[in-house]
């Protein structure tokens, strides 16, 4: 972002579909002001989160040049992940995992690792969470909600943006993600322009590009550590280091947004970004 920023940028999971989205709602390049983000995260009073847990429930194994344009076609693993923001009195989930059938869709006939025990832990974490957010509306981030047998239980605490819901309704990545009108009515919907306070130490950052409803989740812990859950702005840490998007982004409508988001990140510190407890 524009000012010195000591964020650990977390790379999230691989999505298979090409960036299909709007570059931005306006012609202006995407930008974010870290001071505004920090201010938003400080708006809601209360103790900040204690830690962020991460879990990998599946992998996608595709050549590096698929995830990072211009790199060699060497073997590469892209993790499919979900995050649990832990407060003293409850949790917020960011992204929802996915079921095996959706995972197999992404494999397109190639068998890729899927960890059912970890997926079950994500499902359990969703049920015990106070609130559920998604970085964006692709299947590997939202199928754990939209295709869950517990959808009716989860939906009232799932907070989606209007743009995320619109994509699911009008142009879902796979038809199985499209909610019925009854399902859509159960979800909590929000809209915001640039940045929005969500909880103590948490702010949402609008980041269209990879999808219309993409957003980043900023978290400031009690310890002072800051994290940015960046969704699929990049699929591999090398994409962040090199500020280079996916091969699929070439010519895609969302590429401009993703490039701007990568360009405004700080050089990542290669220290451990999160406490690797599992939800």
Span interacting with Zn ion, options 7-15, 82-90, 121-129, 240-248, rule CB under 5 A? 7-15
β-strand pairing of 188-190 with 226-229: unpaired
Closer by beta carbon to Zn ion, 136 or else 265:
136
Closer by beta carbon to Zn ion, 40 or else 240:
240
CA distances from 37 to 40, 164, 216, 228, 263 (A): 5, 21, 11, 11, 17
Closer by beta carbon to Zn ion, 41 or else 168:
168
d(CA 256, CA 236): 18
Please list the residues that pair with 91 across neighbouring strands: 86
Using CB under 5 A as the binding rule, whether residue 259 contacts Zn ion is answered as no
Instruction: Write the interaction track for Zn ion spanning residues 178-217; mark x where CB under 5 A is met and - where it is not.
Output: ----------------------------------------
d(CA 30, CA 131): 27
Given a contact cutoff of 8 angstroms between Cβ atoms, the answer to whether 13 and 80 are in contact is yes
Closer by beta carbon to Zn ion, 80 or else 138:
138
Whose structure tokens read 């989740």? 217
Q: Longest C-alpha distance within the chain, in Å?
A: 49
Among 95, 232, 249, 256, binds Zn ion (CB under 5 A): 232
Using CB under 5 A as the binding rule, whether residue 138 contacts Zn ion is answered as yes
Closer by beta carbon to Zn ion, 118 or else 164:
164
Using CB under 5 A as the binding rule, whether residue 112 contacts Zn ion is answered as no
Return residues touching Zn ion (CB under 5 A).
15, 138, 232
């Amino acid at each position: 972002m524009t000012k010195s920023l000591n964020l650990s940028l977390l790379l999230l999971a691989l999505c298979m579909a090409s960036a299909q989205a709007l570059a931005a709602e306006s012609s202006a390049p995407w930008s974010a002001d870290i001071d505004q983000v920090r201010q938003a995260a400080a708006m809601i009073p209360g103790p900040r989160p204690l830690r962020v847990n991460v879990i990998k429930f599946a992998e996608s194994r595709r050549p590096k040049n698929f995830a990072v344009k211009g790199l060699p076609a060497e073997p590469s693993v892209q993790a499919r992940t979900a995050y649990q923001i832990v407060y003293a009195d409850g949790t917020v989930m960011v992204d929802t995992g996915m079921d095996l059938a959706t995972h197999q869709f992404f494999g397109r006939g190639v068998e890729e690792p899927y960890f059912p025990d970890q997926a079950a832990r994500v499902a359990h974490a969703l049920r015990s969470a106070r609130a559920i957010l998604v970085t964006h509306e692709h299947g590997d981030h939202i199928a754990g909600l939209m295709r869950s047998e517990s959808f009716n239980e989860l939906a009232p605490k799932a907070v989606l943006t209007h743009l995320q819901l619109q994509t699911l309704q009008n142009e879902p990545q796979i038809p199985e993600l499209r909610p019925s009108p009854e399902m859509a009515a159960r979800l909590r919907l929000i809209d915001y322009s640039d940045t929005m306070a969500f909880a103590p130490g948490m702010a949402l950052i609008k980041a269209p590009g990879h999808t219309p409803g993409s957003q980043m989740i900023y978290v400031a812990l009690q310890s002072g550590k800051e994290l940015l859950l960046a969704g699929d702005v990049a699929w591999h840490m090398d994409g962040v280091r090199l500020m280079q998007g996916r091969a699929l982004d070439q010519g895609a409508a969302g590429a401009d947004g993703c490039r701007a988001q990568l360009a405004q990140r700080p050089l990542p510190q290669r220290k451990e970004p999160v406490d690797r407890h599992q939800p």
